[in-house]
Structures are given as C-alpha cells and as structure tokens.
Structure 1
C-alpha cells in the first residue's frame, strides 16, 4: 500500500504537499542579476560602437530586464531607437536590412569570442532572435533585437493610437515596437512582490500549461490586479494567485480595458470577450489563441481546486470576500462592526449637520424656505468615517429655474462671503474646498471624532411647490442638458425621501455596497456613484416585494451577479412616471446600462461606458471569492 506525506495534492508541479507559494518561492535559487546586466550592457556597448547605424537610445525589456523572469536561460528584448529612421514606413522598409547588418557584426571576429558566443535563431518581421552565451560571466540568454523609430519624440501617444486605427495588424505590430517603452516602464514601476506574483504565474504557465508564448498576458493580469487594489506594496500573494487562477478558469468572461490609460472606443471597436487590452496599446488584445485558452482554463480550474483544498488544510480559509474584511468574517458581522456608524457617531454628525442647516436658514441674506439634507449622510446610508452631505438650499427669492440659473453666480458668491465671514463665530471647523457650477464644496469636521464630511451647498428653486412633477418634466422636454442640470437639484427632496423610506437593513446593505465600491472600484477615480448603488439596491428590494428582513449574503451575491453583467442592466420606474411621455428611452439611451433617477426621468445614473469593464471585473471577482468561501464551508473542492 502506497503511503503519501500529509496534506493535499501539491498546488503546482514541483511543490510539496501542503507547501504554500511563499514557502516554495524561498526555495528558488537567486540569479546573479549583476552578471546578467553586464552581459546586456556588453552587447549594447558593442552595437553602439561597431554597427553602422546611429542609436539614439536603447530600451531594455523582456522578463530579465523587467525582473519578471521565471527561469533561466531568460529572455532579453533590446529596442534600438535609431536616428537614421525618419518615419514608420522607413522603419518598416529598413528593419530587415538593419538586423542583418547587426547579425553580421555579432557573427564577426570583432564580437566572437571576445564578448561571447552567438547562435542565430530566427528573423521575425520586426526583430532578430539569437542565443548568447558568455562563458566568463557564466550567463546565457535569448536576446531579441528590435530596430525602432522614436515616434513618441514627434507625436503624443493619443495621436499615435489614431494613426494606428484602420491599419492592418502587421503594420500595427511595428507601432507596438515603438510603444514598448511605455509597456516596460509600467511593469517596472510595480513593487517586487508584484514581480514575484508574475514569476509564479509564469512558472505555472510553463510547467502546467506547457507553453512560454503568453507570458505578457499574465504580466498584464497581475498588473491589473495590483492596480485595482490601489497599488499596494504588500498583499497576500496566495490569495491574489488564486484569484487570478479563478479569472483564468473563466477566461472567456474576461474584460480588461484600462479605462485610466485611454478610452479604447476612441480608436477601435472594442472586441467581444475575452478581451485583455495592452495597457500601452489599445489596438492589442493580448488574450491567447482559442486552443491555448482552452488549456489555460482547464489547468487553472485544477489549480483553484488544489488552492482551496490547501487553504482548508493549513487553516484560515480563502481570501476575504471584500478587501478590508477579516479572513472568515461574515458580511453581516462586517456591516455591524466596521461599516455601520454607531449611535453616538450618528448623533454627533447629525447634530453638526443641523448646525449647518440652522446657519443656512437664518444667517444668510436670502429668504430660505427649507434646507434638504441629501447625500449619504442625509439619506442615512453613510459608511463609518468620511461621508458626504448635500445641503440643498431652497431660496424664496428665486421665482423659476431660469431665474435660478441666471442668478447662480450671485447666489454662490453671497453664500460664500457669508460663510467666510460668519461661520467661524457660529460653529467651528468648516474648510472651503472649491466652487462648482451649481454649488460650493466644503469639508466639515466632527469635533470630538476624526470624522470629516464633504459638504456641497446647492441653491435650488422649489419647483414642486409651484407645479406637479409631470408638469415639471414636460417643461424640461425643450431644455438642453445644461439647462436640465439646474432642475436636477430641485428634485432633491424626492430623491432623499425615496431612499430614506427603506428599512434599516436595506440601508445597511447599501452601506456594504458603497464600502465595496470605495475599496475595490473607486480607488483612482469615481467609476460608480453612491446614488447608482442606492438605486440598484432599492430596485432589487422592491422587485422582491419590499421585505424588512433578508439574507445579506444571498442578496449581495445577487447584486454582484447583476453588476458582473452590467451591460444588461436596465432599471426604469414605471410607478414614478411614464418616461415615454417625455422621450423615447430606446433612442436616448440605446445601450445598457440604464438606471434612471426615480425623481428625474432625464438622468441616467449608470456608470460611463469607459468604466463598464472595471465594474464588471470587480463584481465578478467578488463572486469568485464568495464561491471559494462556499466551497470552503461545504468541503467541496472537486473540479466541477
């Protein structure tokens, strides 16, 4: 009878039973990078001194130079930016001649054997590959040499992307060479732990998928995970590895567009899933071919199964469902102990907001009929800590929305002057931030606590006292989008009431969605608004007959499923208004997602198209983590 050491099957080929990734990585031998660097510099010096071309600069790339190598011998890319090239067409026509002249010099006695021994591998349309062995340095690596035209010296990258539009793929590949420096710098900037994650991903690709052709695809996957997490220097490498494997197991659903780098739709039709665009080049989808994708998915599913079994064996469970949660913590526990403000916090913040309300009603030079408190604080959906509050000031001196628009600058200047001169004597800490086209932004400190609130003071006309909502909507039909923006704030009372009427458990559920968006989507830019999440949650609640109680875990999974399929989301409010009375919704909003404001049929609060990929990816990753937890609790790790 065969006996096995304790523990589940090894996570990866070459690992021991029960061994974790950090433990495995400590066994990897180190590479003498100084000797590797000397070998590369030796080649560069020789080329600059002996090849009859004028080299402006050399950019070093490939795994060895990006510090993402998985094994040796490694791969080095040398991009030679050549002064003698005058255009992209010139580069295209001269590349083969240039690399042949370089090969001739490297094959000559001027290089061999003094600098090393060269073995030619092949020419490609853009490069030359060779194997270099330097006996005195005990180094051998594959080197690929790319002649390049320094197009970014003469054009900005946006114009280069436009130039590439409509070109054949073969021509775009020449442009890609010229953009390599952007690609390389992006990966180099990541901390060493991200490079370690990339190495273990490449090791898996080589050892289990049995290919080395798609390394850059895995580099992009790792960099995207790092960027979504806020570019941390430290993280749990085992959790991130499993999450990326889970994404690869469902590779056909991948959509990574890099909204912060460029708007891909400005340059091309964004391909259908799977799509992982190059962060340096919107024209390049780096996803492997279909045959390789199928093998990647099969191998990734097997790794996910083994990873979950390993975490069960060593204890602690899989990754937290949301970043910031403790391992093993439930969503309901997290809401109660981390997200939901305490009663003392609420009282202190409410008291301070009331003082602002009192000031605006009685200390300005305007007749104020009421101040509506909106934002997350006004709607009681704020997360513990920093919150936002909209103070919508309904001014009696304004007789119409047009009057409000015409008087806005005067009203804002007067309000700001009053706050600047009288607020400090009245209540305390209120810091001016900036003016906007419709209001003034401040930061409000909560005295005893460390809470800081963003306050928007927004003048408004009480249109709903003057006319019925349907008459106001009819009036808006003939207005421009800019003019309609002045109406929007006038509906604040209805917006706040719509959210405030839901039960406390729904409000806490909204808080959970907001926290998730804050830590996983809105780190670098506000891709989703709080109001969008409020409306998605309330629509879901209403569609389930408005219960006072529900299973938080089940509902969170359902909402994440909706957001993972964001481009199918369409929420109208037929009980609030008949949108067809004012416009054809299919003509005005032909593409999903559409989430109309229940107080204003002209406003779609859904994320912009450039943010769709980010929202869907983050939601899908939550679903992966929730499934991992379900597997962990039930002990189901079979590859199903």
Structure 2
C-alpha cells in the first residue's frame, strides 16, 4: 500500500468526505490488469479440476467470496472455489487427492492447508487473493440450473427440502454460492465502490479491535446493498450519503431485521412459517438472500457494539461537514421492514420511522414561504395578471407526510417530500380558461424564476413532454438548508371563492364542473378543489392520519415491487379507502392500528365490489348533480369518488391494476403485523364494500353483508 493510503486512513475521520470517490479509485479498486491475470489463472485451474475423475465425478465449480461477488479489495482479498461432486466422498481422501492435483498445478499458485482448510493463494504484483477450496456433495443443490420456476426463482421444492435438511452446519454457507454471486452480479459499479469502502473501513476496525477473522464482512456487504436499494436505487449516487446511511444502520444494529425475496418468499406456507420463525429471533438479523437458514448478522452483540461506536465516531466527525457549515445527510432507510413488525408495535413503528421530524417540516415551511413571496410579490409585478391565492396541497398540507416520501407520485428521491402549490389566478374566469392559459402562465413563471433567481437557492427545472402541461416541476437546492426541495406549481381557476372552509360549496359550482367535464377527462379540474381535498383529511383525528401514513408506506413497498408489472391505482385511492374503513369500522379517536391496517387490506382484496362516495361537499339534493352521481356510481367497480370532486373516480374500474395490489394485500395477511405480542391474530373491523348510511348521507343501494365476520 502507498504511504498516502495509510496516511489517509489515519485521518479518515477528519478528511473531507468529498475525497471518497477519488480515494476509492486510487486505493481500494483492484488493478484491472492484475485482476484479469488472476481471472485467467482461475479459469485454467477450474478447467483442470473439472477434468479430474477422482475420487468422484466433478459436476461443476462455482466461484464465491469477494472474488465471486466482484467486491475484491486492492491488496489482499478472499475467494472460494466450491466444487460440486456427484458422489459422496471421504474428507481425508479428498484432501489427499487435492494435494496431489494441486501439486500438478502448483506453478499456478501457492497451495497450502490452514486450520485444516485447503487454500490456494494467487498473487499478481500488489494483488493477492486467497481461495478456500470447498468440496461439496449435495442431493439438494446443483451448481447450475437454478432457474426452474416460472418467476426465475429456484424451485420451491428446493427450499422446502433445504429447510428440513439437517445438513446445515458445513454446507449452508457454500451450497448457494451461485445464487449469492448472481445477487451481486447486476449491481451498479458505484454501489460496488461503496461496498469496497465499507469493507476497507471494517477491516481497519478489525485491526484496531485486534480481531483476526471477519465474521461480519459479508453481512456488511449485504447491509450496504440494502441501504442503497431502500435509500437510492440509482446507478449514480452520492458516496457520502451512501456511507453515512450504512454507518447509521450499524448504529441501529439492535433493530436490524433485513431480508430479501429474490430467491425465496412468503407465498409457500412451509417457507413462510420458517422465515417468520427466523425473523422473530433476536436482532440483528440479516438473512442471506440465497439461503433462508443463514443469518449472517451473527450473534456477537459485543462486536456489533464496538462497530457501532466506530460508526458513530466517523459519521459525526468533521469529515461530513461542508464548507458552508451544513452536513451531508444519510438516506432515510429503516433498519427493519414493516412486514416483520408485530401489531402491538405498529404505533411505535410509525412514530420512529414514518413521522417526519419537526425540524424537517420547519425547513419545508421556510422554503415554501420563499416561493410564496416570489409568486405574490415579484413574479407578476409588471403584469395585469395577479395571483389571488396560493394553497399548499398534498400530504404536507394534509398532515400525512412521510419522511422523505414524494407526493403525489412515488419518486423515490430521498432528499425531501415534494410540495404541491396550487396557484389561483384572477385571469381564470372559468374552467376552460384554465385549460387555455395554463401553459402560458407556466412558461412565464419559469421565465421569471430563470431571470430573477432566488437568493440562496439554485433551481433546476424538470423537462415535460406535454404540449399543454398542467404543472411546473422544479427542484430548489438550498445553500443554507441540508436538503433539495422539489416543487410542483399548478395554475388553477378559483372555483370555490374565498369562503372555502365556512360553507358547503354552492351546487352551481358543481353543475358548472359537470358541464365542463363532458368535454374533458374526469378529475381534469381537481386542482380547483384542492382546499376541500386538504380539509377532508386535515381535520381528521391524529391517529387516523398516522394510519394513512402507514398505508402510504405499505403502498410504497408495493409500488417498488410491482411497478414494472402494471400501473397501480393512485395512492389517493388508498388514502380515501383508509378514511372510509375508519369511518365505517371504528370512528373512535383511539383505535387499534393493526385492526385498521388489516381492514384496509381486506377492502383492497375486495376491490371488485367497492362503491364508495361522500356527501360532505356535494349531495343528491340537486337534480343535475344527483343524475350525474347516479351515473358515476354505476361505473365499473371499484368506484371511489373524490369527496371534493365528483368527476374524479379514483377507483377507476379497470383503468388500473387493482388485481396486483390485491394479490400483494393477500400475501401481507400472513405478516407479523397481524400478530399481537402473544401471537394471537388481529381481527379486522366489519366494513361493507358499498357505501352505507353515515358519511354518505343517503343510501341508494341495498345493504351488503359485511366483508368479514368478527369471528
């Protein structure tokens, strides 16, 4: 290693984090040419071994360890050569045979026995890789040919047999080497750079703590992948944010419960029951994504405690301070999944992980005020056009914002919640004016923001493909605040006037809306009713808003998993369904969160029967509105009418892939969320799938039997 390398590490906790990319490139990445030479030698050795017929036929060879996962560090790294045999063998005979075979190829590398392990050491200049030689005979696992199921996962039968197999202690870490390799094979290069940095830091900690072995190295590799998947997911990300996220997760080791479903999942009962038993054990839990029997998190709390101390030291050091005295921030990543959180712990889960911090909300408020002043005082000061009012919309206005969750769309940028600002203009005299002039206004606002930049902010505009866009999207990068804030500005016609919160809207407002909707798509003018949408949620009990947060978090998990399979129904539909479930099933301020969660999932599973509406802002008294509502309620189900805008059916019939969300809801029924501390099952509320007397005000349908019984 270079002198700079050791000097740099000795000052690791004070060196500016901006140097991390360069440091990884210069000091941690293995030399490409040297690694290629080792690749050639390994290929030659594997070809030689596959031709050997003694003592048993070689079925295949799989390369694992850091070498197989392509996370080799410059200097000294590790690897495994797992050799699968078609017949059982005696271990003593096997060692003698390997000694003989490797003597034939000793010119290729240094062959030795260490602690009764067979090892091969290959060196090229500054790069040395020590391979453990692992001979395996297994009737359960093949070295190749894994993808035998329709969803490109190993067959369920493989894992069922593996769970019941007693051959665990020796084989488990190595039988699934090929799946471990594939898990890492498609990761972006920059994520592997982050893994190298984490491994380097860990190895230096081990030297300081005088630990010879590295029992948690693979665990930290997986923890780094998890941090990236949950926090960024982008090929190009900020290394500083990534390493901070990993360090923060290490400090929360007592809460870590991490698993993947890329090779096995919860759908089969045998595997599900075993996984749940694994996930109920003492934490930290980091299950090998290839092997459900293997918790690589280990059971040494003392080692984790020491690592957590070192992680805290580095993450709070001056290394992550910027020149303007602000600090780099980690991604918002939960140390445990919602799926493995028991029902009686859901309120704590929401409070700890989903509820935004007051400091963050205050920062958003300050940035919003800056935009508000720009729009009302500067943007149109030389124009006859004026801004009548600016209304903050979306989850932040409703009081249901999540930590770093975008709204209304699930953009997984972790830097801050989107803020929707609906801007009402005096030049809009009706709904048609909004359509005709909004593109011009959006263009003018962007022009003014470009010509008159906001003090202390950098602005970046999002591209649009629409000829007549509804929204101006941009990001403000603050020089003073530790965040990038995304905004959506939506010009709108002031259909409701100034007395929004005091009175029920005049029926004439909705009659004009219905007339305009005949020539436009449903909910085209929903922005005009933003204040009603906001107040419908904002006035609800605090715990109901917490349940909405939980459902939005659940929806995010589903969206991440299902987005490539089809268009999910809008998040707003799930939000309204949550309100309906509470109104019809509970209605009290202090209710059981697990019961509410389960009730909403049950409703989603019955999506083909849903017909839900409210009469809080419009009703059936006026003939024109009544006829329109009755026609809306005969649409293909699910029907979920926006309580602020009757033209907006967010249920959408077959417009969206409700079946995907329903299938996911059914899988979640087996979650630990619906087990109490004594593992008694949670029961859902009794809620009809069709709106009944209550919040709707009138009943136009026969009573339908409840979707579930209390027994």
TM-score, normalised to structure 1, is 0.53
Structure 2 residue corresponding to 1:67, chosen from 65, 70, 77: 70
> 1:81-128 CA distances to partner (integer Å, 9 max, x unpaired)?
33x23xxxx4xx64554344223321x3x2233x233222233xxxx4
CA contact (8 A) 1:194 1:226 kept: yes
- The alpha carbon displacement at 1:446 in A equals 5.2
CA contact (8 A) 2:240 2:328 kept: no
Q: Secondary structure at the match of 1:267?
A: helix
- Which residue of structure 2 lines up, in the alignment, with residue 235 of structure 1? 237
- 1:209 and 1:508 map into 2 onto residues whose CA distance is 46
CA contact (8 A) 1:131 1:142 kept: yes
- Which residue of structure 1 lines up, in the alignment, with residue 419 of structure 2? 339
Tell me the number of residue pairs that the alignment of Structure 1 and Structure 2 aligns.
417
For the pair 1:285 / 2:295, whether they are aligned, the reply is yes
Structure 2 residue corresponding to 1:178, chosen from 175, 180, 189: 175
- Which residue of structure 2 lines up, in the alignment, with residue 205 of structure 1? 202
Structure 1 residue corresponding to 2:188, chosen from 174, 183, 191: 191
| Residues 446/133 of structure 1: CA separation in 2 closer, same or farther (3 Å cut) | same
Q: Secondary structure at the match of 1:76?
A: strand
Query: Aligned Cα RMSD in Å?
Result: 5.3
Counterparts of 1:113-512 in structure 2, within 5 Å, are 113=107, 115-123=108-116, 128-133=117-122, 140-148=128-136, 149=138, 151-152=140-141, 156-168=154-166, 171=168, 173-210=170-207, 211=211, 212-229=214-231, 231-259=233-261, 261-263=264-266, 265-268=272-275, 269-270=277-278, 271-288=281-298, 289-306=300-317, 310-313=320-323, 315-319=325-329, 330-332=363-365, 333=367, 335=396, 338-340=418-420, 342-343=422-423, 427=519, 500=536, 502-503=538-539
Q: Higher RCO, 1 or 2 (CA under 8 Å, sep at least 6)?
A: 1
Q: Secondary structure at the match of 1:595?
A: helix
Structure holding more helix per residue: 1
| Residues 520/164 of structure 1: CA separation in 2 closer, same or farther (3 Å cut) | closer
For the pair 1:79 / 2:78, whether they are aligned, the reply is no
- The alpha carbon displacement at 1:286 in A equals 0.9
CA contact (8 A) 1:77 1:146 kept: yes
> 1:403-460 CA distances to partner (integer Å, 9 max, x unpaired)?
xxxxxxxxxxxxxxxxxxxxxx96466xxxxxxxxxxxxxx795999xxxxxxxxxxx
- The alpha carbon displacement at 1:180 in A equals 1.5
Q: Secondary structure at the match of 1:523?
A: helix
- 2:255 and 2:72 map into 1 onto residues whose CA distance is 28
- The alpha carbon displacement at 1:205 in A equals 0.7
- 1:160 and 1:59 map into 2 onto residues whose CA distance is 18
- Which residue of structure 1 lines up, in the alignment, with residue 23 of structure 2? 24
| Residues 497/199 of structure 1: CA separation in 2 closer, same or farther (3 Å cut) | closer
- The alpha carbon displacement at 1:518 in A equals 6.6
TM-score, normalised to structure 2, is 0.48
- 1:174 and 1:42 map into 2 onto residues whose CA distance is 26
CA contact (8 A) 1:228 1:523 kept: no
- Which residue of structure 1 lines up, in the alignment, with residue 586 of structure 2? 573
- 2:574 and 2:221 map into 1 onto residues whose CA distance is 33
- 1:574 and 1:293 map into 2 onto residues whose CA distance is 45
- The alpha carbon displacement at 1:194 in A equals 0.8
> 1:357-404 CA distances to partner (integer Å, 9 max, x unpaired)?
xxxxxxxxxxxxxxxxxxxxxxxxxx9699xxxxxxxxxxxxxxxxxx
- 2:45 and 2:600 map into 1 onto residues whose CA distance is 68
- The alpha carbon displacement at 1:151 in A equals 3.5
For the pair 1:48 / 2:42, whether they are aligned, the reply is no
Q: Secondary structure at the match of 1:141?
A: strand
- Which residue of structure 1 lines up, in the alignment, with residue 560 of structure 2? 523
| Residues 199/51 of structure 1: CA separation in 2 closer, same or farther (3 Å cut) | farther
| Residues 296/447 of structure 1: CA separation in 2 closer, same or farther (3 Å cut) | same
| Residues 71/447 of structure 1: CA separation in 2 closer, same or farther (3 Å cut) | same
- Which residue of structure 1 lines up, in the alignment, with residue 596 of structure 2? 595
| Residues 192/321 of structure 1: CA separation in 2 closer, same or farther (3 Å cut) | closer
Q: Secondary structure at the match of 2:76?
A: coil
- The alpha carbon displacement at 1:293 in A equals 1.6
For the pair 1:103 / 2:92, whether they are aligned, the reply is no
Which structure 2 segments of 5+ residues have no match? 1-6, 149-153, 334-355, 369-395, 398-416, 436-486, 491-516, 606-664, 675-711
